[in-house]
């Protein structure tokens, strides 16, 4: 009897895989988010200032103004475009420049005379990340050039204490190291919920769920088949992306055991696939299911610690998110992939994901059983 149940679970899972294979939209989604989405997340939209376009209106035409102009160069800024005052507003309105600096006439004379003088910096705030960091860069650069010009020489202050900076696990502070690995973690959660929920809704819309009800299979076998089949698909896609996109194309070094990370991902999938089934039983159509995913997935990803450290969040948010599988999945993934941690370090996240998965699976099974009986 036990082996018969295992055979039923296996064959029902194979049926799910064949259904997925005949769904080109889902296949495209899997390939896209584990290839292009991972690569673009790691290599685009840098958090640091990078080649920000800047234009300068030099009405002073003095050695000091020329010194300020020459301070802007790649990789932080593009080479400054020298424009006149009439072109500044037009260029900002057209989105040609992120920054437009206006150096007024008699600027050097006022600085040398000790008079108060002001520069005007126009910032395109729609480019929020670069506008925020770039304005601070420009202020520091101008202040440094003015001080050195007034002093007549370039100097650096010497402190009695020397600070040696050691960046652990990411010596060059490469954003793509963090972005690519965290994107895989987020994609595992997102895709597992989508695939399992879509598989159930697809059967309901096509009427094949009624065929299953007349077969000698139990609700537990049907649900477990969906969990293992969609989980295997996500694990294979994540493994391929980790080896060929992250470690190969992006050349990101993975410190820990990939096999241990995949085992942890399987425990997280136990909970998230159950969550996908639960949401699918609540939705009556695929559009409703999509709206439910938005309401659930955004908090899971944004508050799990993958985007913002959990220590920066309010205590009530930290306490609530402790019962989310993504919190422990992110903790486990960062420890293994970034710091090379072993099972002796990550056994607690493993245990938490297993227990949370059991709870999620129970409620999803209960809801799925009620839905099946209602349809029968």
Which comes out higher in pLDDT, residue 114 or 229? 229
Q: Are 200 and 277 in contact (CB under 8 A)?
A: yes
| Residue ranges making up the domain that contains 116 | 54-151
Closest CA to 297 of 197, 195, 189: 189
- How confident is the model at residue 374, as a pLDDT? 65
Q: What is the mean pLDDT of residues 58-84?
A: 88
- How confident is the model at residue 252, as a pLDDT? 82
Q: Is the pLDDT of residue 159 over 90?
A: no
Q: Is the pLDDT of residue 130 over 60?
A: yes
Residues 199 and 251 in one domain: yes
Residues 193 and 284 in one domain: yes
Residues 135 and 211 in one domain: no
Count structural domains, the chain. 2
Q: Is the pLDDT of residue 155 over 60?
A: no
Residues 185 and 322 in one domain: yes
Q: Is the pLDDT of residue 46 over 60?
A: no
pLDDT tens sequence across 173-216: 667 777 788 888 888 988 999 988 888 888 777 777 667 667 77
Q: Is residue 93 part of a domain?
A: yes
Residues 218 and 289 in one domain: yes
* 40-49, 79-88, 116-125, 185-194: segment of lowest average pLDDT: 40-49
Residues 224 and 295 in one domain: yes
- pTM exceeds cut of 0.75: no
Q: Is the pLDDT of residue 54 over 70?
A: yes
pLDDT tens sequence across 313-344: 888 988 888 898 989 998 898 888 888 888 99
Q: Is residue 40 part of a domain?
A: no
Q: Are 98 and 129 in contact (CB under 8 A)?
A: no
Q: Is the pLDDT of residue 49 over 60?
A: yes
Residues 117 and 226 in one domain: no
Angstrom distance (rounded) from CA 285 to CA 141: 57
Q: Which residues of 286-303 are buried (b: 16+ CB within 10 A; e: fewer)?
A: eeebeebbeebbeebbeb
């Amino acid at each position: 009897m036990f082996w018969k149940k295992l055979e039923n679970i296996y064959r029902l899972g194979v049926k799910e895989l064949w259904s997925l294979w005949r769904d080109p939209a889902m296949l495209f989604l899997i390939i896209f988010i584990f290839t292009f989405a991972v690569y673009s997340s790691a290599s685009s939209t840098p958090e640091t200032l990078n080649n920000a376009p800047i234009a300068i209106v030099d009405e002073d035409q003095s050695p000091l103004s020329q010194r300020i102009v020459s301070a802007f160069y790649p990789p932080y800024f593009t080479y400054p475009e020298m424009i006149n005052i009439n072109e500044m507003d037009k260029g900002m309105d057209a989105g040609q420049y992120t920054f437009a600096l206006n150096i007024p006439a008699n600027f050097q004379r006022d600085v040398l005379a000790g008079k108060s003088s002001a520069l005007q910096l126009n910032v395109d705030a729609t480019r929020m990340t670069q506008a925020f960091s770039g304005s601070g860069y420009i202020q520091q650069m101008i202040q440094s050039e003015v001080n050195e010009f007034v002093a007549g020489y370039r100097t650096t202050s010497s402190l009695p204490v020397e600070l040696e900076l050691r960046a652990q696990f990411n010596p060059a502070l490469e954003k793509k190291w963090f972005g690519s690995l965290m994107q895989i973690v987020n994609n595992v959660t997102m895709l597992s919920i989508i695939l399992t929920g879509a598989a159930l809704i697809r059967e309901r819309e096509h009427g094949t769920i009624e065929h299953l009800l007349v077969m000698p299979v139990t609700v537990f076998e049907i649900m477990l088949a969906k969990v293992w089949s969609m989980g295997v698909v996500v694990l294979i896609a994540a493994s391929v992306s980790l080896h060929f996109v992250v470690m190969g194309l992006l050349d990101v070094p993975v410190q820990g055991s990939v096999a241990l990370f995949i085992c942890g991902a399987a425990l997280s999938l136990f909970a998230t696939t159950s969550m996908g089934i639960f949401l699918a039983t609540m939705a009556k159509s695929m559009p409703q299911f999509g709206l439910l995913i938005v309401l659930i997935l955004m908090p899971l990803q944004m508050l799990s610690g993958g985007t913002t450290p959990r220590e920066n969040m309010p205590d009530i948010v930290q306490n609530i998110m402790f019962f989310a599988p993504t919190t422990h999945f992110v903790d486990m993934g960062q420890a293994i992939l970034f710091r090379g941690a072993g099972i002796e370090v990550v056994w607690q996240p493993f245990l938490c994901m297993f227990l949370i998965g059991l709870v999620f699976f129970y409620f999803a099974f209960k809801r799925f059983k009620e839905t099946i009986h209602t349809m029968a």
